[in-house]
Structure 1
Amino acid sequence: MVHGASGKTVRLTVAQAIVRYITAQHSVVDGERQRFIPAALGIFGHGNVAGLGQAFAANLDQLPFIQGRNEQSLGHIAVGYAKAAKRRQALAVTASIGPGATNTLTAAGLATVNRLPLLLLLGDTYATRRQGPVLQQLENPAAPDTTVNDAFRPVSRFFDRISRPEHLMTALPQAFRVLANPVETGAVVLSLPQDVQSHAHDWPVEMFEPRDWKIRRPLPDPAEIGEIAELIRRAERPLVIAGGGVIYSDAQREITDLGRSTDLPISETFGGKGAVLEPGPFQVGGIGLEGTPATNHLAQHADLIVHVGTRLTDFATASQSLFAADARFASVNVSEFDAIKEGAVAAVADAQLALRALADELGDYSIPAAWREEIAREQDAWAPKRAAALDPDRAFVRADHPDAPVTNAVITQGQLIGVLQEHARSGDTIIAAAGSPPGDLQKVWDATDGRHAHLEFGFSCMGYELPAAIGVRLADPNPEHRVTAFIGDGTFLMQPTEIVTAAAEGIGFTLVVSENHGFQVIRRLQMGKTGRHFANEFRYRDESGASLHQAVTEVGETKPGRLEGDYLKIDLIEIAHGLGAETHYVETADEFRAALDSTRGATHPVVIVVATVPQVDLPGAEVWWDVSPAEVSGDKVVEELYDEYLEGRADQKWHG
């Protein structure tokens, strides 16, 4: 049998063929060519060590390999890298069968939701069945070919089970096509049965020749750009929403220039934080549920919304309650699926090219004077509130927050952010993903002048931040560019183990932990929707009832004590130190400043735990979110909260 144009073949195992193919793939953007997958990460088990493990070990000179501690975290490292690389490079992650594979399921969902390339090479149970049910095999009597890896199908943009060697010849090109396509990219999963990984095959040598994958920039249709420009000219109160697509397209300069030349107010989603490069009257900040009240007031009054490179999730639209009923919409997006949201007049195109064309089409256009004045009034009203909330040297006044628990903390989380903002330089990156940190950064962080904000809020995934910092550092090895993951103590306790990986590899990043004793942002939501808190702070069980053991063994007969005793005594510093980090515990703004200054440029993981006053929040965004209290409760407080919810729901609108 003849293989390929030359007829020449090379005999390799399936695993060896995968690794060799990966090393030959390149991405090309604007003429810049680079290795698409420059490294791999993994944890080996019996389901991938003999196949993929052997192949990776034999190709270390071409594909560096990073050993990790948790498969989910390895997926997050890869996603963080891909985001920092603006989707132009990705990493491969391998895991063994069963729980090793399913540990990466969360990372796959995160990658797909956020449209970020992730290549997962997952062990699977035997394609042959002579072994009988094997260790970690799912036995489905109605579907014998089902394995736990089928759980990846709904959270992947491409999934293929390689049950014969020949499958690779079509699967690998399709996998990389998806990874390189900004419209389709996300998690790409190759499910690799343990036995098939080690099977040999005669492959055409052409399969392993270097190949380039062009990350395309779809050209804007002049007629579509002209229609959007005409809508802007006719609008009295236009507003732009910049999403992550602006950053992935390298269109920050274009959208900044558009704002400066026209005074169009430009707001930012979580993914679009930092899209505007320079401060100015046109840079109005975060929008939506965790945006600024000033930006949201402008959005409520706008008669035209131009959304660029965004999925427009419920946080950006305040669950479809933010915009005026008669507002019109226009959009620029590489994905038609997102472009037509809100019934927008759409330009399906690359953001950089479309924004250039739009600026040319608008010429010397400038927004109406009345709208410019309203923008200035809103910004002037918000600026002192922001400054007061962030001022690290303002003494905390307990009388202003009488219900806040008494701890050793003397600064708020807002003041913690104020110190971080003072310290941030051009080239630095701050990372947040879940809890209060990403919302606080969306509201108050200044991401202009080269300060990067890496906010993962599509999947809002606790535990992403620390490993993502490793990925960001791999993408930007300059130690003078500080990489900071900002999390709460709840997130830290979920998954701190990749500190070990960073320590082992000499990867420098900083983990700032706001020690506020629990899942405080969910407690805040709980109070707003039930009027009472329950099981969201880190407290011992009190003595108002039986012990947990007694309540479980005598279920229905005794009532357990409530989770309202003293705060748990948790030494986060000892945990971090034991995992290999340099550690600092600080209680004052000056101590925090000193810790940051002394550790800039560190080439190892640094953990700074900051004692912060619980239950003291930044000023609200003054918008609504569709989270319903219980419709039936028998509790008067909850009934009143449900009535308030219905009042808010009346503001929801369909724009189409």
Structure 2
Amino acid sequence: MLMTVAEAIIKYMQEEEGIEVIFGYPGGAVIGFYDALYNSSLKHVLVRHEQGAAHAADGYARSTGKVGVCVATSGPGATNLTTGIATAYMDSVPIVAITGQVKTSAIGKDSFQEVDTRGITMPITKHNYLITDPHEALRIVKEAFYIAKTGRKGPVLIDIPSDIFLSKIEYSVPSKVELLGYKPNYEPHPLQIKRAAQLIKESEKPIILAGGGVIASEASQELIKFAERINAPVVTTLMGKGAIPETHELSCGFIGMHGAAYANYAINDSDLIIAIGVRFSDRSTGKVETFAPNAKIIHIDIDPAEIGKNVQPYVPIVADAKRALEKLIEVVEPKTNPIWWEKIKDWKNKYPLRYRMSNEVIKPQYVIERIYELTKGEAIVVTEVGQNQMWAAQYYKVKRPRQFITSGGLGTMGFGFPAAIGAQIGNKDKVVIDIAGDGSIQMNIQELATAASEKLPVKIFILNNSCLGMVRQWQELFYERRYSCTLLDVAPDFEKLAEAYGAYGRRVEKIEELDEAIEWALNINDSPVIVDIKVNREENVFPMIPAGGSIDKMLID
């Protein structure tokens, strides 16, 4: 069956990979692909900026566990994708990005809208391709999806010249993928499992540190079963939120720069850390030389490059988190750890997450608490980056994996709203909320047109403090309140802006207006909603570990 490469790629994505939706923005180098889409049943979501396409594909992937797909043209279209690709790379999210390229005869001649997309994205993709032979197209596309969703998941980019899209080929898909040198190891070594079980038996103060790898491997139930068997507290990284229900009696919140004080004290005082699907980033460990000085570490990760990169483990286990936990459950002996639990409960009592309530101003922490209570903890929560992100992480207790979506490793402002669009498309019957700041939301505010066009009822709650809150906080604490370029005294009327895009908008300036506005937003199901909430400008996120500080040396308030 002869067809164009563009038609063959679309057919393959639908029939072989089960792709239901792609996010993109057309241009000259991808016009052949978009022409093939014209008669296709594959849903395409037209974003208003290519960065929005990458973030939407990312949010779709994180919230569903499926591969997200985004498309952009050559040159600026491709470069606009790079921030979103880097975001997915840092957080190990499976997306496939398809970019157009100038025709093969024009490559390397500084042609109109030509950039070396493959070279630019090499450091921020798990793998990438430039297709120069149309007969290799389906093999490459099959490999791209395989690489994105296996092993340590991540983004893969396929750069396709415009003439390759239009070339005619036979539709013939390789029966399997064969990649020399790429053989992810899923099964843990039996000896390492035995060594880990012995360490757990000997420990008096064990703690489990669960990261995004637990969610990526669908290992939440195994994690809970394992934690209950050894009666160990479970802390998470920011990316691991949802790996265990935060209402579970063994859950102790997330650690790190703005983690709960009791979580940070617990991991730093432990004698054994069972780290699963984490990379021991600086935001989690603080000063690595002083991190958990008395703890032996069992590090389970599917990526061997992460073992020993930041923290040296006592027992390394290169394996899929789900398979490793299944094997550990089989061999570990039950434990109780009563003295350890007494100490943790004491820390929880002494150092709870807290803030000073006021009736004069709206406290952002209170806003998150009310959103949590009025949604009964069931919403999919997507965040922007900054103070809004940390307050959401602290005060919205998530119940399940893929419920809390945030840019962790790259810390990308502007991520939240387009990611929420992707999450809403992937979860049509669920409430999707974007917790935003007034700075971050403006970075991709144009995607209101996308959400309105698709009639997506994403709820955007802006914690509006008229400043770039997290940088301002640092300036207050460490730079004598020298607020250099962080005060946003000129800003749009977000209520009117929402209406201009055909969405709904509302402003909240008094605390007694808050609940009604939240409930109003939750009841709208045919359009995006902005609730602009005026909060205290000089409210800070605590606890806080100063840059380069030790995890147990926090500013509490």
TM-score normalised according to structure 1 size: 0.78
Q: 1:159 aligns to what SS in structure 2?
A: strand
Distance 1:582 1:250, change over 3 A: same
Partner of 1:43: 25
Equivalent AA in structure 2 for residue 514 of structure 1? L
Structure 2 CA distance, aligned partners of 1:218 and 1:149? 29
Distance 1:649 1:208, change over 3 A: closer
Equivalent AA in structure 1 for residue 511 of structure 2? A
Are 2:264 and 1:296 equivalent residues in the alignment?
A: yes
Structure 2 CA distance, aligned partners of 1:579 and 1:74? 19
Alpha-carbon offset, residue 423 of structure 1: 1.6
Alpha-carbon offset, residue 131 of structure 1: 12
Equivalent AA in structure 1 for residue 364 of structure 2? Q
Partner of 2:180: none
Partner of 2:167: 199
Structure 1 CA distance, aligned partners of 2:91 and 2:63? 13
Root mean square deviation, CA, Å: 2.8
Distance 1:587 1:373, change over 3 A: same
Distance 1:234 1:174, change over 3 A: same
Partner of 1:468: 419
Partner of 2:157: 189
Q: Is the 8 A contact 1:413 1:617 kept in 2?
A: no
Q: Is the 8 A contact 2:246 2:397 kept in 1?
A: no
Are 2:371 and 1:395 equivalent residues in the alignment?
A: no
Q: Is the 8 A contact 1:127 1:195 kept in 2?
A: yes
Are 2:317 and 1:347 equivalent residues in the alignment?
A: yes
Structure 2 CA distance, aligned partners of 1:508 and 1:448? 22
Map 1:219-618; keep pairs closer than 5 Å. Answer: 219-277=187-245, 279-321=247-289, 323-341=291-309, 342-344=311-313, 345-367=315-337, 369-383=338-352, 385-386=353-354, 388-389=355-356, 394-396=358-360, 410-448=361-399, 452-478=403-429, 481-539=430-488, 567-601=489-523, 602-618=525-541
Distance 1:376 1:81, change over 3 A: same
* Residues 498-554 of structure 1, C-alpha deviations (whole Å, 9 max, x = no match): 111111111121011011011110111234443342434335xxxxxxxxxxxxxxx
Sequence identity, in percent?
A: 24
Distance 1:155 1:584, change over 3 A: same
Alpha-carbon offset, residue 617 of structure 1: 1.8
Structure 2 CA distance, aligned partners of 1:104 and 1:64? 20
Q: Is the 8 A contact 2:494 2:505 kept in 1?
A: no
Distance 1:78 1:235, change over 3 A: same
* Residues 194-248 of structure 1, C-alpha deviations (whole Å, 9 max, x = no match): 22222223x2x4328999xxx9992333322221121122222222111111122
Distance 1:48 1:210, change over 3 A: same
Equivalent AA in structure 1 for residue 447 of structure 2? E
Alpha-carbon offset, residue 96 of structure 1: 1.4
Q: Is the 8 A contact 2:22 2:45 kept in 1?
A: yes
Q: Is the 8 A contact 1:429 1:483 kept in 2?
A: yes
Q: Is the 8 A contact 1:595 1:608 kept in 2?
A: yes
- Structure 1 residue runs of 5 or longer lacking an equivalent are 1-9, 27-34, 139-146, 397-409, 540-566, 627-644, 652-656
* Residues 404-449 of structure 1, C-alpha deviations (whole Å, 9 max, x = no match): xxxxxx2121121121122232531111141112222333332237
Aligned length: 547
Alpha-carbon offset, residue 610 of structure 1: 0.4
Q: 1:395 aligns to what SS in structure 2?
A: coil
Partner of 2:39: 58
TM-score normalised according to structure 2 size: 0.91
Equivalent AA in structure 2 for residue 610 of structure 1? I
- Structure 2 residue runs of 5 or longer lacking an equivalent are 178-182
Q: Is the 8 A contact 1:38 1:91 kept in 2?
A: no
* Residues 616-639 of structure 1, C-alpha deviations (whole Å, 9 max, x = no match): 124324x3422xxxxxxxxxxxxx
Equivalent AA in structure 2 for residue 421 of structure 1? Y
Alpha-carbon offset, residue 354 of structure 1: 2.1
Structure 2 CA distance, aligned partners of 1:170 and 1:250? 28
Q: Is the 8 A contact 1:242 1:272 kept in 2?
A: yes
Q: Is the 8 A contact 1:263 1:372 kept in 2?
A: no
